[in-house]
Amino acid sequence: MKRFIRAAAIAALVVTTNAAAFAAGDDVKNPTAQGWSWDGIFGKFDRAQLQRGFQVYKEVCAACHELRYVSFRNLTEVGFSEAQSKAIAASYEVIDGPNDEGEMFKRPGRLADRIPAPFANEKAARAANNGAAPPNLSLITKARHDGSNYVFSLVSGYEKPPASMKVAEGMNYNPYFPGHQIAMAPPLEDGKVQFADSTAATVKQMASDVTAFLTWAAEPGLEARKRLGFKVMIFLLVLTALFIAAKQKVWRDLH
Amino acid sequence: MSNMQLKNPILRWIEYRLPIFSFLDDSLGSNYPAPKNLNYWWNFGSLAGIALVLQIVTGIVLAMHYVPHVDYAFDSVERIMREVNYGWFLRYLHANGAALFFLVVYVHVFRGLYYGSYKYPREILWWLGIVIMVLMMATAFMGYVLPWGQMSYWAATVITNLFTALPWVGVNITEWLWGGFTVGNPTLNRFFSLHYVLPFAIVGVVFLHLWALHQHKSNNPLGIDIKGPQDTIPFHPYYTYKDLAGLGVFLLVLAAFVFYSPNYMGHPDNYIPANPLQTPAHIVPEWYFLPFYAILRAIPSKLGGVIAMAASIFVLFLLPWIDTSRVRSTKFRPVYRYFFWFLVIDVIVLGIVGAKPPEGIWILVGRLATLYYFVHFIIIMPFVGWFERPLPVPDSIHKPVLVSAGAAAVEAQR
């Protein structure tokens, strides 16, 4: 009986912790699990995929969405060389100043600059987008439950609305979005970008590439974390084994 | 006093002037006697102490980079995650360490409940423990507000609003806490100030807790008093090594969360900057507050809910008198034993209810579980103590230790 109660208690605990993590459950369609290169304890980003993802962000998402916490210098972590990153930075116009005359001025971007936002402020973003401000994407995969799968499913999962549903003016039907009506029009269509590495730009391909890029943008330290984690776990396993052995040795002659 | 024979002349020189080595030896060294039969549930006290130190160390470094201002707090946390060397490691350690600190403390509390560690003569020791737990809750809540994400902001709003339930002075007190007419920059500033200082208050109460502990020594699984030196072993090396073994396991669990699932126990909404104009779909506290949150919401009146939540902790102060049992350890209580595990299940059920939106069946389950929580302490504990016939309790700690080590045959007869 006691053992049963104990087992039940542990089972209930597992359920609780999961329940806490999955508390937000409406009738939203769950994102489909994709299996990503960065999953698992040895997970890594695919540099070519990150670069394709950056291209999708730059040519598609960046029209409306800012990437607030990413600077041009960070692009070297995506696998661009310093010269490439500089060239990318220089292709942007950045507002700097005030200069000695007290005026703000425009200049080409530098590595130290953040990737400029498409709108001057949230009000401007709202005004240009039918009242819905496009969210900052630099944390999007951490700010949504099951973030990477969510982003992938959302951008590639637009559907025709069911007959019973009336989609409001200027809105689009997406089963993965809470409430199913999203202001963002389907952002991707086949061939929307031309990948330099001649990967075919299908919707699924672009969606998974941009998901990879945004996952990196949300947590650039992910690879370092997993690499260090493995070493730490091995170290702690040995240390704990030694502690337990030492305890056994100390206690052995006690009884 | 320890009659330490220090060989090193420098140490001896110091010891003569400041007897710190013998003090340490008396407090947690070879001159501190501990019952020889402590099981692994007794690891959680020292683990909690280590978890506290870990929180303070990581917290002090995080505070060097954090900016307590509504316009910069969220960005400064992201700066820690991206720009500060090993900032992600520190922050994930601090966030997951807080959650595991609560887990450890809750196990420690339930261990005290099971073995009657609150009973004579350890009442003040028990009270100090509850004071630590309450201080931890206040500290953790204010710490959760600091990143100024959506959950931070709305948790601050919901919890501070509880004070408006107080009659007459509720609104005044709440505005005094806010430092304004709503949760805002002054609120964030004072929460940061208090979040920094309260852990040191906890350290102070921990010292009192240890002082009270050392007066009558640790309770033990048999719940009987130490009769003489044959019942004890020196804390060092026996329990220092046993605690290290437990510490290793704790660190493995902590590292597994930090490195492989650092946001599992968090809520995604807290990676969205605070927005006073948009309420999240569900405002959910961290898991370690869920049972209390469920009690708060179980009462269909705001003041009633606040009172019930406060009472759910306050009732623990009264345990030394509520529990009428003649024996300490639940091991010798054939009836109460079941009620103890029902209480554990009840608290877990409350935790599940706390995570669910308050609708449908969950309202009823929450109310029943809340009712049972109080029935356990107010009715079951005193009555079971009166009517239950405890099993025969061993005469000394020494004897059953010899028996269990001696022969399995004796065990089989029972």
The band of B405, judged by pLDDT with boundaries at 50, 70 and 90, is very low
Within 13 A of B410's CA, how many CA atoms are on the CB side?
9
Mean of the pLDDT values across residues B286-295? 97
Supply the pLDDT for residue A130: 85
Tokens of B369: 């579980």
Mean of all residue pLDDT scores within chain A:
90
Tokens of B366: 């929450």
CA-CA distances (angstroms) from residue B352 to A131, B288, B334, B365? 38, 11, 29, 10
Nearest-CA distance from B248 to chain A in Å? 5
Distance of CA A104 to the CA centre of its chain: 33
Q: Is the model's pLDDT at A9 over the cut of 70? A: no
Within 13 A of B249's CA, how many CA atoms are on the CB side?
11
- What is the distance between the alpha carbons of residues B25 and B4, in angstroms, rounded to a whole number? 8
Catalytic annotation on B218?
yes
Q: Is the model's pLDDT at B410 over the cut of 80? A: no
Strands (E), chain A: 93-96, 105-108, 172-173, 181-182
Cis peptide bond prior to A98, omega within 30° of 0: yes
CA-CA distances (angstroms) from residue B130 to B53, B97, B133, B206? 19, 20, 5, 11
Residues B52-77 pLDDT 10s: 999 999 999 999 999 999 999 999 99
- What is the distance between the alpha carbons of residues A46 and A64, in angstroms, rounded to a whole number? 26
Prediction pTM value: 0.92
User: Can you give the length of chain B in residues?
Assistant: 414
- What is the distance between the alpha carbons of residues B1 and B5, in angstroms, rounded to a whole number? 12
- Provide, as residue numbers in chain B, all residues whose Cβ is less than 8 Å from the Cβ of A218: 271
Catalytic annotation on B286?
yes
Supply the pLDDT for residue A254: 83
- Provide, as residue numbers in chain B, all residues whose Cβ is less than 8 Å from the Cβ of A5: 338, 341-342, 344-345
- What is the distance between the alpha carbons of residues A134 and A124, in angstroms, rounded to a whole number? 11
Which of the residues A27, A231, A240 would you substitute to probe the B interface, choosing the one with the greatest number of B C-beta atoms within 10 Å?
A240
Mean of all residue pLDDT scores within chain B:
94
Which of the residues A3, A141, A238, A250 would you substitute to probe the B interface, choosing the one with the greatest number of B C-beta atoms within 10 Å?
A250
Tell me the three state secondary structure of residue A3: helix
Q: B87 Cβ partners below 8 Å, 6+ apart?
A: B65, B79, B80, B81
Which of the residues B111, B242, B283, B347 would you substitute to probe the A interface, choosing the one with the greatest number of A C-beta atoms within 10 Å?
B242
B356 touches chain A (CB under 8 A): yes
Backbone angles phi, psi at B279, to 5 degrees: -85, 135
Supply the pLDDT for residue B402: 54
Within 13 A of B86's CA, how many CA atoms are on the CB side?
10
Catalytic annotation on B214?
yes
B95 touches chain A (CB under 8 A): no
The band of A191, judged by pLDDT with boundaries at 50, 70 and 90, is very high
Contact across the interface for A16 and B401, Cβ inside 8 Å: no
Nearest-CA distance from B88 to chain A in Å? 7
- Provide, as residue numbers in chain A, all residues whose Cβ is less than 8 Å from the Cβ of B402: 255
Catalytic annotation on B356?
no
A81 touches chain B (CB under 8 A): no
Supply the pLDDT for residue B163: 94
- Set B69, B214, B302, B331: catalytic member: B214
Supply the pLDDT for residue A3: 54
Which H or E run contains A108? Answer: strand A105-108
8 A C-beta contact, residue A226 and residue A41: yes
Nearest-CA distance from A1 to chain B in Å? 9
Supply the pLDDT for residue B407: 46
Contact across the interface for A237 and B233, Cβ inside 8 Å: no
A123 touches chain B (CB under 8 A): no
8 A C-beta contact, residue B135 and residue B194: no
CA-CA distances (angstroms) from residue B386 to B320, B322, B333, B335? 14, 11, 12, 11
- Provide, as residue numbers in chain A, all residues whose Cβ is less than 8 Å from the Cβ of B342: 5
Supply the pLDDT for residue B399: 81
Supply the pLDDT for residue A161: 93
- What is the distance between the alpha carbons of residues B4 and B159, in angstroms, rounded to a whole number? 52
Comparing alpha-carbon positions, the chain A residue that sits nearest to B240 is: A247
Distance of CA B399 to the CA centre of its chain: 33
Residues B84-140 pLDDT 10s: 999 999 999 999 999 999 999 999 999 999 999 999 999 999 999 999 999 999 999
8 A C-beta contact, residue B328 and residue B219: yes
What one-letter code names the amino acid at A159? Answer: E
- What is the distance between the alpha carbons of residues B82 and A74, in angstroms, rounded to a whole number? 10
- What is the distance between the alpha carbons of residues A35 and A40, in angstroms, rounded to a whole number? 9
Q: Is the model's pLDDT at A1 over the cut of 50? A: no
Supply the pLDDT for residue B403: 53
Mean of the pLDDT values across residues B14-35? 94
- Provide, as residue numbers in chain B, all residues whose Cβ is less than 8 Å from the Cβ of A115: none
Supply the pLDDT for residue B4: 73
A15 touches chain B (CB under 8 A): yes
Following DSSP, what letter does each residue of B318-346 receive, concatenated? THHHH---S-S-GGG-TTHHHHHHHHHHH
Dihedral over alpha carbons B131, B136, B138, B143 (to 10 degrees):
170
Residues A52-76 pLDDT 10s: 999 999 999 999 999 999 999 999 9
Distance of CA B389 to the CA centre of its chain: 32
Residues above pLDDT 90, as percent of chain B? 93
Residues above pLDDT 70, as percent of chain A? 89
| Rounded (10°) angle between helices A147-156 and A203-218 | 150
- What is the distance between the alpha carbons of residues B172 and A163, in angstroms, rounded to a whole number? 53
Nearest-CA distance from B250 to chain A in Å? 9
The band of A216, judged by pLDDT with boundaries at 50, 70 and 90, is very high
Residues A19-33 pLDDT 10s: 444 444 457 889 988
- The alpha helices in B170-298, defined as continuous H runs, are 170-178, 185-216, 240-260, 290-298
Closest CA to B128 of B202, B197, B200: B202
B264 touches chain A (CB under 8 A): yes
Question: Using only C-alpha atoms, what is the Rg of chain B?
Answer: 24
Closest CA to A143 of B275, B149, B354, B74: B149
The band of B385, judged by pLDDT with boundaries at 50, 70 and 90, is very high
Which of residues 166 through 205 in chain A touch B, CB cutoff 8 A?
178
- Provide, as residue numbers in chain B, all residues whose Cβ is less than 8 Å from the Cβ of A228: 89, 259
Supply the pLDDT for residue B409: 44
- What is the distance between the alpha carbons of residues A11 and B408, in angstroms, rounded to a whole number? 32
Q: Is the model's pLDDT at A80 over the cut of 60? A: yes
8 A C-beta contact, residue A150 and residue A174: no
- What is the distance between the alpha carbons of residues A13 and A7, in angstroms, rounded to a whole number? 10
Supply the pLDDT for residue A253: 81
Tell me the three state secondary structure of residue A157: coil
Contact across the interface for A145 and B81, Cβ inside 8 Å: no
In B377-397, which positions are buried (b, 16+ CB within 10 angstroms) versus exposed (e)?
A: beebbeebbeebebeeeeebb
Catalytic annotation on B108?
no
Strands (E), B345-392: none
Task: Measure CB to CB from residue A24 to each of B82, B282, B402 and give the nearest one.
Answer: B282
Residues B347-364 pLDDT 10s: 999 999 999 998 999 999
Residue A28 gets which letter from DSSP?
P
8 A C-beta contact, residue B292 and residue B366: no
- What is the distance between the alpha carbons of residues B44 and B48, in angstroms, rounded to a whole number? 6
- Set B46, B218, B325, B329: catalytic member: B218
- What is the distance between the alpha carbons of residues A29 and B205, in angstroms, rounded to a whole number? 49
A71 beta partners: A114
